[in-house]
Structure 1
Amino acid sequence: MDILFCDELLQEIFRRLPPSSAAAVALVSRRWRRLLRSSTTSLSLNFPPPYNPTTITSFSSFLYHHPFLSSLSASAAADGGAGDHPLLLSVAASCPNLRHLRLFGPPVSSLSLSNLSKSFLHLSSLSVAVLRPFSLNWLPCFSSLTRLSLSVKNPLPEIDDSELGSVKDSIFDVELRLESLSLSGISQRDYGVAYLWRNCKNVTKLELNCCEGLGDFSSFSDFLRGLMSLKLQSCCFVTGEGLRAVGRALNGALEELSLINCDVVVKERGLLTTLGQDFNGLKRLDLSYNGMLVDKEVVSMLASCDGLVELRLRGCSRLSDAVADAMVRRCKRLQVVDVACCCGIRVQGVEIILLNSLGLRRVEVERNKLSEAAMARVADRFVEVVC
């Protein structure tokens, strides 16, 4: 049976199989294992210690047998040392064609990242952790990079302000090609991040997670132009005036807005009304996990956001069926709705959404909130339900 299939046909079959079947395929024969490896373009690996020469060599050999690998997620413990992890050398030596790299584990030093850039000439996406005080002098070396996810580690009290400030003028300004930028753990005293605000003029998508500041707001205000997607999650630095300033700067150009678990959403009454008017071109809105958010705030925002195709309200437990009613009256183009873990939106509210949103393609909600009429409409219109 094996000889009936040519290499190209087997490789095409392997590409269509789920990742969970890879282990079984590799056991069929040496030929199948070789073809499986040569057809694999994406891997997610967890490489535990100890990190001795034997294990590093084995890791390098494993990667070497995947010549067309373009995407790699690698997770390692801190045993190898924070800054110059030996796994990085293996990846750099064995995966010259890599396009996407995600490194989980200890922070990586600026020197290691500069050295990596010499091996990854085609890398377009990078996710990595760095230590304070951090420098971004390695960033221009990745000439093909368009997506960057940067997580800053170690607490601020251990770092002197003079050290943080020393990185401000340590890099020459060079226009970067970044189009998507994600930052986690940034503080108001991380002045080095101003380099990104000054030199990332092509960024259209910005995501900030667990951030306490922007480093330099004056540079950030200039950076905003051209932004089409803004995602803020658990960011305690956000103020209503700051969000209104963003709205004025973007002049209605924003298409996607996420304010996930942001206290300012419920602390400042009327804020969502203003944002709805400023961002009236929104297509995607995510207000998930704002547990104290009330109907009035959401309904008033939806009045101005009639072009929404995606609305996520997961975990907003105080919202009621009134929001569901406003949703279908105001937002006629909705395709994706997430109202899971919304205790106040009951069976009737979910039924209103499913029966009256004619363009709906996907809804995320608890199964016990689906009435018979709602289930019938789901089957009739091929709506995907995620419970």
Structure 2
Amino acid sequence: MEMDRILCDELLEEVLRRLPPHSVFSPSTAAVSLVSKRWLRLYRSSKSGLEIKLSPDVCTPPSLSSFLSQFPHLSFLYIGIYTTVLGGGCGNVMSAFPDQILLSVASSCTKLTTLTLHDAPLSLSPLLSLSNSCPHLTSLDIYLSTPVSFHWLRFCRSLQDLSVSFTSVPGESKHVDDNALEGDAELKLEALNMYRIQPGDYGFDWLWRSCKNLKKLQLARCYGIGEDVSVSSIVNCFNGLQEVELRRCGVVVHEILLKVLENCTSLNSLLITNRVSGDGLLQFITHSRCNLQKLSLRLPLDLDNNHLLAVADKFRGLLSLRLGRCCLITGEGLRTMALTMTNELQELALRHCKVEPGLLTILGGRFRNLRKLDLSHNVMLVDNEFISMLASCNCLRELRVRGCKGLTNASVVSMFKSCKQLERVDIMECPGIDAEAVELFVLNCAGLRRINVEVDKVSDVSRSWASKKLVEVLDWF
């Protein structure tokens, strides 16, 4: 208590701000709030980020506003909403609750730069209040019901990153009133993430026309791009686009790839998962005018050796190649690719892929500059193959072998002997690796900063050394 009296508020706030994050080896920083009312006040004042989960039957807007006002320096806020009250005649209460929450945030958190409000759709009025009250907001992640209107984005003058998940409201008109949206705007948005746009959805044309500065476009489970969207509108987004991610978007993938092929030369990163036309993908690869640096594909039935060889021939300077569940690709295809490409590759992922005997030795010898390697869930991977590859991969900083059931303690020893620069390792779900090997690894891997491993494989010695070396030990990915 004598120390408590000596420390002024400003100095104690700085101490609380510098406390390490929660881990399995140290209590949560929130525990310091139990010392006294003063520490609780200063703890809240020192926090720049907050995550909370709310429900209408336990929280009211006045109580939320009062609570948030105790965190005057919040820049990051995540709010999740329990939606289980939708049944039993509570629909009206639930539909108003997200709007009331956002109004409380707008009135209490004027310094926000990042806001996530999940699991319930918002209406227009609170979004306008948010844009006026939080002028520094740069990142926003929300739910909206269709049809949508985006004219409130005109007033979000600092917004650069927008993520929207869409949900349909039964009985709503398909059309949206565009009277307020006459004339294009030039939004500052650089990253746009759209989730669940459905065929027949309206209200997107103005958004596409106004996104003239996009650098990153993400579409997830989008089976349309807006019923009211013209070709010229969506093409407007592709000038200067650098990253495209298409996750489980069905036939929309082919349409987007075609437009990118015709209108974009700046793309350097492409991610596609689930399904795509094999011919359409091959056309994009062989005729692309882009200089791709990163390529990530999870296409079980649409990617074969021909695509891989086309990638190697067209994008020889690729820095990152991530493949997942590509069951039609063979070891021969991967070998030929490796011999065709330069040795500049820095990241390689072969998750759930066929790792045939001898392949990893060739890949390791060819790609000696690898910084990240992910061989997760290759159940046929064995020590000899893995150790042979590591002997050539001296630059590795991140290594993941989750679910590789054929690896044993010998592989762990090879990790710290061959890869002196390792910082992050994932060895979850590897039954052949035991607590003794984990302890040996933590003791000998000088640069280790994070290890993913089951808690029951963490001995007292491992726990002590990890704490001293500030190593995070996690049992999740």
Equivalence map 1:47-58=2 (5 Å): 47-50=54-57, 55-58=60-63
Opposite residue 76 of structure 1, the aligned amino acid is I
Match 1:6 to one of 8, 17, 20 = 8
Aligned counterparts of 2:315 and 2:372: Cα–Cα separation in 1: 19
Q: Which residue of 2 aligns with 1:92?
A: 106
More moved, 182-191 vs 91-100? 182-191
Opposite residue 312 of structure 1, the aligned amino acid is A
Q: Which residue of 1 aligns with 2:451?
A: none
1:240 aligns with 2:242: no
Q: Which residue of 2 aligns with 1:102?
A: 116
Opposite residue 255 of structure 1, the aligned amino acid is Q
Opposite residue 264 of structure 1, the aligned amino acid is D
Change (3 A) 1:275 1:47: same
Q: Which residue of 2 aligns with 1:117?
A: 131
Q: Deviations over 1:231-264 (max 9, x none)?
A: 2233x3x223333444356535222221135532
Opposite residue 253 of structure 1, the aligned amino acid is N
Q: Deviations over 1:85-143 (max 9, x none)?
A: 32111122211111112221023345543443223322222222333344444444322
Match 2:161 to one of 130, 147, 156 = 147
- Name the SS for the 1:33 alignment partner: helix
Q: Which residue of 1 aligns with 2:434?
A: none
- Name the SS for the 2:245 alignment partner: strand
1:45 aligns with 2:81: no
Q: Deviations over 1:12-46 (max 9, x none)?
A: 33223214623311111122112211221112221
Q: CA deviation at 1:377?
A: 4.8
Q: Which residue of 2 aligns with 1:230?
A: 270
Aligned counterparts of 2:283 and 2:350: Cα–Cα separation in 1: 24
Aligned counterparts of 1:66 and 1:111: Cα–Cα separation in 2: 25
Q: CA deviation at 1:211?
A: 1.6
Q: Which residue of 1 aligns with 2:190?
A: none
Q: CA deviation at 1:295?
A: 2.0
Change (3 A) 1:357 1:171: closer
More moved, 120-129 vs 239-248? 239-248
Q: Which residue of 1 aligns with 2:454?
A: none
Q: CA deviation at 1:370?
A: 4.4
Q: Deviations over 1:172-224 (max 9, x none)?
A: 93354443333222113634677565246444233222222439646554564
TM-score with structure 1 length normalisation? 0.84
Change (3 A) 1:42 1:201: farther
Aligned counterparts of 1:141 and 1:359: Cα–Cα separation in 2: 47
Q: Which residue of 1 aligns with 2:361?
A: 325
Change (3 A) 1:291 1:61: farther
**Count of residues paired in the alignment:** 379
Change (3 A) 1:46 1:339: same
Match 1:15 to one of 6, 14, 17 = 17
Aligned counterparts of 1:142 and 1:121: Cα–Cα separation in 2: 7
1:128 aligns with 2:166: no
1:208 aligns with 2:222: no
Aligned counterparts of 2:13 and 2:64: Cα–Cα separation in 1: 23
- Name the SS for the 1:91 alignment partner: helix
Structure 2 stretches of 5 or more lacking a match?
86-93, 177-198, 428-477
TM-score with structure 2 length normalisation? 0.69
- Name the SS for the 1:296 alignment partner: helix
Q: Which residue of 1 aligns with 2:422?
A: 383
More moved, 73-82 vs 147-156? 147-156
Alignment RMSD (CA, Å): 3.4
Q: Deviations over 1:329-370 (max 9, x none)?
A: 221210111112111222112112222112112211158614
Q: Deviations over 1:285-304 (max 9, x none)?
A: 22124455432333333332
- Name the SS for the 1:298 alignment partner: helix
More moved, 165-174 vs 115-124? 165-174
Q: Which residue of 1 aligns with 2:385?
A: 349
Aligned counterparts of 2:96 and 2:321: Cα–Cα separation in 1: 38
Opposite residue 85 of structure 1, the aligned amino acid is D
Match 2:43 to one of 36, 45, 52 = 36
Opposite residue 271 of structure 2, the aligned amino acid is K
Change (3 A) 1:57 1:170: same
Aligned counterparts of 1:370 and 1:150: Cα–Cα separation in 2: 44
Aligned counterparts of 2:116 and 2:262: Cα–Cα separation in 1: 29
Q: CA deviation at 1:55?
A: 2.4
Structure 1 stretches of 5 or more lacking a match?
none
Q: CA deviation at 1:61?
A: 1.6
Q: Deviations over 1:36-83 (max 9, x none)?
A: 1122111222112326xx622222222111111111121113352189
Aligned counterparts of 2:6 and 2:273: Cα–Cα separation in 1: 53
Contact map agreement 2:323 2:351 (CA 8 A) in 1: yes
Aligned counterparts of 1:16 and 1:95: Cα–Cα separation in 2: 22
Contact map agreement 2:148 2:202 (CA 8 A) in 1: no
Match 1:70 to one of 67, 75, 81 = 75
Contact map agreement 2:77 2:116 (CA 8 A) in 1: yes
Q: Deviations over 1:149-185 (max 9, x none)?
A: 23333499x9979993753655693354443333222
Equivalence map 1:331-370=2 (5 Å): 331-366=367-402, 369-370=407-408
Contact map agreement 2:148 2:204 (CA 8 A) in 1: no
Match 2:351 to one of 299, 308, 314 = 314
Higher Cα Rg: structure 1 or 2?
2
Opposite residue 161 of structure 2, the aligned amino acid is R
Q: CA deviation at 1:309?
A: 0.9
Contact map agreement 2:208 2:237 (CA 8 A) in 1: no
Contact map agreement 2:141 2:162 (CA 8 A) in 1: yes
Aligned counterparts of 2:123 and 2:112: Cα–Cα separation in 1: 20
Aligned counterparts of 1:144 and 1:369: Cα–Cα separation in 2: 49
Contact map agreement 1:306 1:332 (CA 8 A) in 2: yes
Opposite residue 80 of structure 2, the aligned amino acid is S
- Name the SS for the 1:211 alignment partner: coil
- Percent identity between the aligned chains? 29
